[in-house]
Amino acid sequence: MIALQDNSSAVVSPGIYPMLYAFFDDRGVLRQDPFRRQVDAALGTQAAGVAILGLGTEVSKLTFDERIEVLEVVAERIEGRKPLLATVYGDTITEQIEFSKRAIQSGVSALMLQPPSQKMDDAKLAGFFSEIISAVDCPVGIQNAPEFLGFGLSNQSLIALANDHENFTIAKLECNAVNLESVASELGDSVMLFNGRCGLELPDNLRAGASGLIPAIDTVDKTSEIFAEFTAGTEERADKLYADLLPVLCFIMQGIPHFLTYGKMLAAARLGIELGGSREPSLPATDFGAACIRRFSKHLGPLN
């Protein structure tokens, strides 16, 4: 078993955990400082913690060493002040366990396992995850996003994993609030359920049983405020704040390539980060798209 080190961060609790973007220079080299800037911004909001190395971090474009680099840079910047969730990417059980070991040593609060790139049926994927979860002595979750990844686990397999593994405590979905409610009703209280999709349907996700969301960082000040208002019992206020943010979310969440191009552009504008270059494959921005982002950035204001 992999023991959780004493330098671990805080315990994962309900709330908003913004996924950080990966920024590259004009040659496609990964930049470190934008991660520090994003961490500082997240810690200055009502976000519950920070998430890294998911789809928003373009994890599939990063080497193993680059993923370790991101992990260490972000963990050092957070210094245990808030929980850190790290997605575990890899095509083999051995690779995912090795990364998990490094992540735990760096002080992550929880791991989020992502399916391998090669499609598996439900039983084989459940076995893949089960072996990794058994080898890791810390809170573990699964990113179950067949809508974006092409395949995933059935509700029955999620429930079985929760029953078989005490440390399987988190699941992240990428679905609408109606589908999330059906999963939440079957899973019960044993697993904290999060959704993504940039924060779309945020109040209704909470009504459906979500513990929070893992959206991107570009609107974390707004999404964390909405969560705070909703959980404080002022749902009408939360709904109004969400209605104001909705045009931005609808523009950004138009598929993963669109989200990566324009969500990152919005984050750069609000954070004062040079946008830089990209890694292929990527969706080129259009003049019209960039103009929309400038308008949204002006409306939302700086993210300090």
Residues tagged in the binding site annotation for pyruvate = 214
Which pair of structure tokens corresponds to residue 65? 């060493």
Contact (Cβ atoms closer than 8 angstroms) between residue 144 and residue 164: no
CA distance 41 to 79: 14
Contact (Cβ atoms closer than 8 angstroms) between residue 205 and residue 176: no
CA distance 58 to 68: 14
Give the three-class secondary structure for 24. Answer: strand
The residues, ordered by sequence, that sit 6+ positions from 273 with a Cβ below 8 Å of its Cβ are 23, 34, 37, 267
Contact (Cβ atoms closer than 8 angstroms) between residue 69 and residue 32: yes
Distance from the Cα of residue 179 to its chain's centroid: 19
Known binding residues are 214
Contact (Cβ atoms closer than 8 angstroms) between residue 94 and residue 57: no
Give the three-class secondary structure for 169. Answer: strand
Count other C-beta atoms under 10 Å from residue 123's C-beta.
11
